[in-house]
Amino acid sequence: MNNKHAGQAIVDSLALHGVERTFVVPGESYLAVLDGLYASEIDTVVCRHEGGAAYMAEAHGKLTGQPGVAMVTRGPGAANAFVALHTAWQDAVPMVLFVGLIPVADRMRESFQEFDPHAWFGTQCKRVFVLDEAERASEVVAEAFFAACSGRPGPVVIGLPEDVITHEVAGELHPVLPAVPELPETRPGTAHMSAVVGELVKRLPADAIYSFGAGNHCAWAQRYLPTRTFPSQLSTRNGSMGYSVPAAVAASLESPERLCVVVAGDGEFMMNGQEIATAMQHGATMLILVMDNGQYGTIRAHQEMHFPERVSGTQLANPDFAALCRAYGGHGETVTANDQAEAAIERALAAVTGRRQPALVHVHTDARHDLP
């Protein structure tokens, strides 16, 4: 008998329970489950915010009477999903929320994004399971579905320690589809972040404030944006996405005389980019660089390391971010080639410092060149 990892066992169990669709925001804490979904007939709906993914699962349960399934990562991802869990609890909606967790050996050490799922979720769901034994993967899924539907329906949480779900369990391996091909060797209409950041750095005042959330784009900000005035960098230690734009709004309102610069990825920006509307309403200004590589790049890198050429749950379809900023009343620029960077940065800075508008530069990048 062939073996499979526990992530595959979870997906197989979901299929046995009739699950046709799952709503996810990917995270490195549950890559094995994403890998299980790679060759599955279950439709993987890649969402832009954990709250949205969990709301979709709640609505699915409300419409069908069958548990809606969402998957999110630990710490900030779990926190973002909480309000939808509370909604399902109040409305008696069957729902199963899978949450990636830190490895078992790292518990009680203030590990990156560590939290106690029982303490966080215990009062707002019917059961909280933590899968500490890989062999019980299918059993725990079955118990969760039973709990979600029995008596008064409601949400159930399953915690997935990162190390446990990679362990092998007994079972037949399903034949897999051919690997999804790599991104094209050349992605037409792209620029390199070095060209855009280079033009920006030339024009930055000494007291500029920078904000960035979590993702590969942070490497460009942390490596190249100069910090000569304290405090000047706003970011997070816990890898929370969606921080950059709200932080810049607050910084601009607190220090309107200083230039605020946001460096965001396409996934990170879509978490809270709507706060440009708040900036417009209250007179906050900022220059936003959005690095659009069409994917959750950091998670994709982890995926390549552990499950090469098996792209699952990390690709994105993006809007025209420059047009979106203009729709809010700001200034928008699009950069699809290196030689467009200088003029785009000049115009964006003029909008911020001259007309006091938020400005966004949408940089289309090649996913192979995410990092400096």
193-369: CATH architecture: 3-Layer(aba) Sandwich (3.40)
Instruction: With beta carbons less than 8 A apart as the criterion, state whether 26 and 299 touch.
Output: yes
List C-alpha distances in Å: 265 to 39, 279, 318.
Answer: 28, 19, 11
Domains 3-170 and 193-369 share a fold: yes
Look-up: residue for tokens 């709990």? 147
Tell me the C-alpha distance between 330 and 323, whole Å: 9
How much is the pLDDT for 98? 98
- Give the other-Cβ count within 10 Å of 174's Cβ: 15
Which ranges constitute the DSSP H helices of the chain?
A: 6-16, 31-38, 50-64, 76-91, 117-121, 137-149, 193-202, 218-224, 244-254, 266-272, 276-282, 297-306, 321-328, 341-353
pLDDT per residue as tens digits for the range 126-163 = 999 999 999 999 999 999 999 999 999 999 999 999 99
Instruction: Quote the pLDDT of residue 176.
Output: 35
Q: How many CB atoms lie within 10 A of CB 314?
A: 24
The pTM of this model reads: 0.67
The contacts of residue 53 (CB under 8 Å, 6+ apart) are: 23, 24, 25, 45, 47, 70, 71, 72, 81
Pair of tokens at residue 195: 């060209």
pLDDT (tens digit, 0 to 9) for every residue of the chain, 372 residues total?
467 899 999 999 999 999 999 999 999 899 999 999 998 999 999 888 999 899 889 989 988 889 999 999 999 999 999 989 999 999 899 999 999 999 988 888 888 889 999 999 999 999 999 999 999 999 999 999 999 999 999 999 999 999 999 888 865 444 333 333 333 333 557 888 888 888 888 899 999 999 888 887 778 888 878 888 888 888 877 777 888 898 899 899 889 999 999 999 888 999 889 889 989 998 999 999 999 988 887 777 778 878 887 878 788 889 999 999 999 999 999 999 899 999 999 999 999 999 999 999 999 988 777 777
- CATH hierarchy code of domain 3-170: 3.40.50.970
pLDDT at 250: 84
Q: What is the residue extent of each domain of the chain?
A: 3-170, 193-369
- What per-residue confidence (pLDDT) applies to 2? 61
CA 169/CA 85 separation, integer angstroms: 30
Contact of 265 with 297, CB cutoff 8 Å: yes
* pLDDT for res 329: 96
pLDDT of residue 1: 47
Backbone dihedral angles phi then psi of residue 360, each to the nearest 5 degrees: -130, 135
